[in-house]
Structure 1
Amino acid sequence: MFKKILVANRGEIAVRIVRACRDMGIAAVAVYEPDDMGALHVRLADEAHALPAQGDYRSPEAMLAVALRVGVDAVHPGYGIISEHPGFVRACEEAGVAVIGPGSAVLEQVRNKIDTLERVRAAGIPTTRPSSRSFAPDEGEAMLAEATRIGFPLVVKAHAGGHGRGTHVVYDSDTLLAVVKRSSGAAQAFYGDAHIYLEAAMPASRYIEVPVLGDCHGTIVHLGERDGSIQRNTRKVIGESPAPGIDQAQREAIWQTAIQVARLFGICGAATVEFVVDSAGQHHFTEIKPRIQVEHLATEMVTRIDTVREQLRIAAGEPLGYSQEQVRLSGVSIFCRINAEDPWHGYMPSPGQITCFRIPGGPNVRVDTYAYSGSEVPVHYDSLMAKLVVWGTSREECLHRVHRALQEFQINGVQTNLGLLRLIVNDEEFVSGSYTTDSSQRHLIDTPPSDDNLSDIAAVAALAFLARARSASPATPPAFTSGWYRESRRIP
C-alpha cells in the first residue's frame, strides 16, 4: 500500500480524499493556491504545499513538479480536469509515480468521443447517434450540413474531455453557429481542444449512469445505477440510486451492458458508464468517464462501499476481493449538489465569506464539503460548495429525509441554490419518480410558493416588521410633559 499520496485537487473532493487516506494510515499531501490557503483540505492534510501561480490546480506540469519534489508514491486527481489528462498520467507513469485511476492508455482511448462511440457500436452495443466527425469552430457550413442530416434537436458536445463543458442543446439551425461558438470556446478553455461534435438529442429521456470498479486482475463489478436526469448546465443537480421509472429487466440489461463496455476498454480503477434511456425504454451508450464522479456519494450509501478506498487499493495492485454477487444494493439514496449561486438572478455565482454554515444531521444524512463558518467561497473556482446525500429504506422515507435535511441546511453570507433544491424535491414529477431530462428545462423558480414557503415568508415578514419597529427613534409621549403626575401627588 502507498505511504504518501498527493491530493491534486481542491474543495470538497480534496477533503474527501484526505480523509480516506488518513483512514487507511496513508500520509496525505495537499496543494493550495493563495485563495485557498485557509481551506479545509489544507488544514486536514499531513502536509500542504503552495502552488506557484493562480490556476495551477489545472496544470499537469505544476502537479507533477510538486509530486516529484515532495516524494509521494501516488497522485489522486479526484475528478478535476487533469483526472482525464492522458499526458499528465503518462508523465507520472514515466516518472514512477502512480496515478489513482485508469492508466494513460485507457484515457487515450476514451478521450476521442466519436471513436469511443464507434468502438462500442462495433461491439454490438446500441449507442447515441453522433456526427460522422468532429468540427473546428470555423467549419460552419459543414456543421450545418451535418446537423441537417442528423436532424434537430441535437446536442453540441466538446470532442475532448468528459466534464460536460461546452455541452448545449440546439433546437434549430438559426441558433446552431452561435451555440457552437460558445461550446468551442469552453472546450478550448477547459480541454485545450476547440473541436466539437454533434449528437442527436433524445427528448423526454433519462440519463442513467452505472459506476464500475475493476481491479488489475480481471475482476469488474458494477455498483448499481444512478439517475442523473435533473441537470443544470450539464451538471447533475440531483442524483438518485436506484433510478426510478425503470423496471428490473431494464436495470439488469443496463448493468450488463456497462460491464461489457468496461471490459471493452480494460478499466482498472473506478469509472462510470453513461447511458441515455429513450421514451421506449431502450438504453443507448453515450460516454464513459474514467474517474470518480461528483455523485459517488449516492452509490456509497446504497452499497456501503467506500469508492475512494477501493480506488487506492486497486491502484496499489490489490484485488477487489469480492464478486458481483457480494455487492449488495440496499435502500434508496438521493444526492443534492449545493452551489454558491443565485438561481433567481441567472444563476450568478456568489463568492464571499460564509457567515453561518449549519449542516443537517440525524441518521443516514451525509454532507461532504470544504465550507465552514468564516471560510471563503473563492472567486476563481467552480461554485460547488457542498454535497448532501440521504438514505432511506424506501423511496418514500428517503424523500421525507431529503426534504427535512434541505430545510435544516442553513448557509448565510453567500447566495445558494438551496431554495431551488427544496422546490425540486417537492415537485410532483420528482416525487412520483416520473421526471426526465426535459424536467430540467422547466422554470421551477416561477412555481407558486408552497404552504411551507408561505409560512416562512410570513415569519420573515413578521421578524422584519419587529426589527423595523425596534429600530425606530425613541420619543417622549406628550402626556409625560403635561405635569399631570404633579397634580396627582399634590397634598390637599
Structure 2
Amino acid sequence: MSKINKILIANRGEIALRVMRTAKEMGIKTVAIYSEVDRNALHVRFADEAVCVGGPKSSESYLRGDYIIEVCKRLQVDAVHPGYGFLSENAGFAAKVKEAGIIFIGPSPEAIELMGSKLAAKAAVAKYDIPMVPGTEEAITDVEAAKRIATEVGFPILIKASAGGGGKGMRVVEGVEEFEQQMKLAVSEATSAFGDGSVFIEKYIGSPRHIEIQVLGDTHGNIVHLFERECSIQRRHQKVIEEAPSSVLTPSLREAMGRCAVNVAKACDYIGAGTVEFLLDEKLNFYFLEMNTRLQVEHPVTEQITGLDLVKEQIYIAEGKPLAYRQEDLHIYGHALELRVYAEDPSNNFLPDIGRLETYQRPQGLGVRVDDGFEQGMDIPIYYDPMIAKLVTFGKDRQEAIDKMLRAIDEYQITGIETTLSFGTFVLQHEAFVSGNFDTKFIERYFTPEALQQKPEEATEQITAVLAAILVDRKKPAAAVIEGANEVPRHTSNWRKNRFR
C-alpha cells in the first residue's frame, strides 16, 4: 500500500474544490492547476499550492497533460485526481501518469480505453449475458450496408458515435429515406468531436428512462454497487436533474441491475469509482448503454443516500486499501435530489448566458448541500462548461427531498445572468415528476418557455399579500419588508420579546 501525501487535482471549479475538501480532511496536501482566466478562482485559493498551466482555452491549460505531469514531478506530487471532464477519461494521460511513477486516482489506462469505445465495451461485457439494445456489434462505415441493417432492426433507429458521449455524433432516424443523410452527419460530427468517425446502429427506444449504477472496485478484486441514480431529466442528451434512488425500481429490479453493473466492472477489471449506465423502457426492461470511467457530476446524491464519501473511497482504493464493506453491508437511507445550476437561459433553448454574478447567495439549512466554485462578483468564463453549482437536497423520503429542493431554489439568489433555477422549480412542481411518471422526453413533452413566465394574477396576489402584511403589522416599517432595503431600524428586532417565550 502507498500512502498519499500530496494530490494534484487536474481540474477546476466545484469538482476541484470537492476533491480538495476531502483531501484536507484526510491530512493530504493539495495542488491546484489553473488557467489565466481562473487566476482568482476559489479552488486556486483553497489549495496548498497552485500553478498556472496556460491560457484560457482548455487546450492551452487543463488539457496539457505532459505539462501537468511536469508540475507533479516538480512539486513532488504523489497522485493525480482528474475529476470529471478534461483528462479524466483520457487513457493516454492515465498511462503517462503511471509511467512517471505517480498514482492515477482512477481506473487503469486499459479499462479507460476499453470502456471509452462503446462497441469494445459491448464486446467485453457480452460474456456476462448483459441485456443489450438490438443493433450492430461493430463499427460500420458502408452507408448501404448500414441501411440494410437498420431496416432489419426496424425504424426508428439511433446512429451513435462509438468514441463519444454528451449527444455528439448521435442521430435519430425515423425512416429509410433520411438514413443516408443522417449517417453522414453523424460520422462528420463524430470525426470533428472525437477524431474518430466510427458509428454503430441501435434500435431507438423512444421514451426510455436513464438509470445509472454507481460501482466501486478495489485492487483486491472486490467490486460493489452503491445503488442507482435516476437521470432522465435532460436537455440535449445532458442531465439537469438527478435523484437517488429511482422512483420506479423495485427491489428485485434494483438487484438485477446492480448485479449487471458489477459484472460490467468485472469485464474490464475495474478499479476505483465508475458508473454503469442503462436504458429502462416503459415495460421496465433494461439495456446496457455504456460505462463512465470516472467520478460522475451527480455523485453527491449517492453519497447522501449511502453515507459514503466517494472521493475518500477513491483515495483509499488508490492507496491499495481494500473496500471496508461488502455488498450486503450497503443500504439506501432516505432520498436525494440534485439540480445542476447552469448559467443558461431555459426560456431561450437553454443557451449559455455568460456574465457576472451580481448577486450570489447560497441556500442553507438542514438537508441542503451546495457544491460550487463561485462567489458574488465573479464572472462565468465563456471557455468552460457553464455549470455554476450543484444544488443537492436530502430528505427521509422523496417528497421531503422535493420540498427541501423547492425551498432551496427559492432561497438561492443569483442575479446578473439567467440560470436553470426556475426550470428546476417547474420540473419539481410538475405532476409527471411528482408522480414519478416521466422519462427522457420530459422537456420535449411538457416544457415551454412560457411555463416560466409568472401569470399576472399570481403577481397581483403576491403584491396584495405583501401590502396586507404591512397593514397588519403597523409597527414594522416598510423598509423592513421591501427587498433591497439598506437600513432596518433597531427597534424592529423581535429578539428581546421572543427570547423568553
Per the normalisation by structure 1, the TM-score is 0.88
Matches within 5 A, 1:84-483: 84-135=89-140, 140-173=143-176, 176=179, 179-180=182-183, 183-184=186-187, 186-446=189-449, 448=451, 455-456=458-459
The C-alpha deviation readout for 1:16-37, integer Å capped at 9, x for no partner, is: 1111111111111111111111
Report whether the alignment pairs 1:67 with 2:97.
Answer: no
Partners in 1 of 2:389 and 2:360 — Cα distance? 11
For the residue of structure 2 that corresponds to 1:353, the secondary structure is coil
2:4 is matched by which residue type in structure 1?
Answer: F
Q: In 2 relative to 1, CA 448–130 (structure 1 residues): closer, same or farther, beyond 3 Å?
A: same
Report whether the alignment pairs 1:81 with 2:83.
Answer: no
For the residue of structure 2 that corresponds to 1:420, the secondary structure is helix
Structure 1 gaps, min length 5: 464-492
Q: Counterpart of 2:491?
A: none
Percent sequence identity is 38
Matches within 5 A, 1:29-44: 29-44=31-46
Partners in 2 of 1:323 and 1:420 — Cα distance? 39
Deviation for aligned residue 1:334: 0.9
Q: In 2 relative to 1, CA 343–169 (structure 1 residues): closer, same or farther, beyond 3 Å?
A: farther
The C-alpha deviation readout for 1:101-160, integer Å capped at 9, x for no partner, is: 101111122122112112322321111223243245xx5444444433333323332211
Tell which structure's C-alpha radius of gyration is larger: 1
For the residue of structure 2 that corresponds to 1:225, the secondary structure is strand
Partners in 1 of 2:172 and 2:438 — Cα distance? 18
2:375 is matched by which residue type in structure 1?
Answer: Y
State whether residues 65 and 87 of structure 2, in contact with CA within 8 Å, keep that contact through their aligned partners in structure 1: yes
State whether residues 162 and 289 of structure 1, in contact with CA within 8 Å, keep that contact through their aligned partners in structure 2: no
For the residue of structure 1 that corresponds to 2:112, the secondary structure is helix
State whether residues 58 and 80 of structure 1, in contact with CA within 8 Å, keep that contact through their aligned partners in structure 2: no
The count of aligned residue pairs is 462
Partners in 2 of 1:460 and 1:49 — Cα distance? 52
Query: How large is the RMSD of aligned CA atoms in angstroms?
Result: 2.5
Deviation for aligned residue 1:74: 0.9
Q: Counterpart of 1:489?
A: none
The C-alpha deviation readout for 1:254-276, integer Å capped at 9, x for no partner, is: 11111122122211100111111
Deviation for aligned residue 1:192: 3.1
1:34 is matched by which residue type in structure 2?
Answer: E
For the residue of structure 1 that corresponds to 2:414, the secondary structure is strand
For the residue of structure 1 that corresponds to 2:246, the secondary structure is coil
Per the normalisation by structure 2, the TM-score is 0.86
Partners in 2 of 1:462 and 1:124 — Cα distance? 61
Q: Counterpart of 2:5?
A: 3
Deviation for aligned residue 1:51: 1.2
Structure 2 gaps, min length 5: 467-501
Partners in 1 of 2:98 and 2:401 — Cα distance? 43
Partners in 1 of 2:463 and 2:169 — Cα distance? 40
State whether residues 272 and 318 of structure 2, in contact with CA within 8 Å, keep that contact through their aligned partners in structure 1: yes
Q: In 2 relative to 1, CA 173–360 (structure 1 residues): closer, same or farther, beyond 3 Å?
A: farther
State whether residues 131 and 288 of structure 2, in contact with CA within 8 Å, keep that contact through their aligned partners in structure 1: yes
Deviation for aligned residue 1:328: 2.5
For the residue of structure 1 that corresponds to 2:315, the secondary structure is helix
For the residue of structure 1 that corresponds to 2:54, the secondary structure is coil
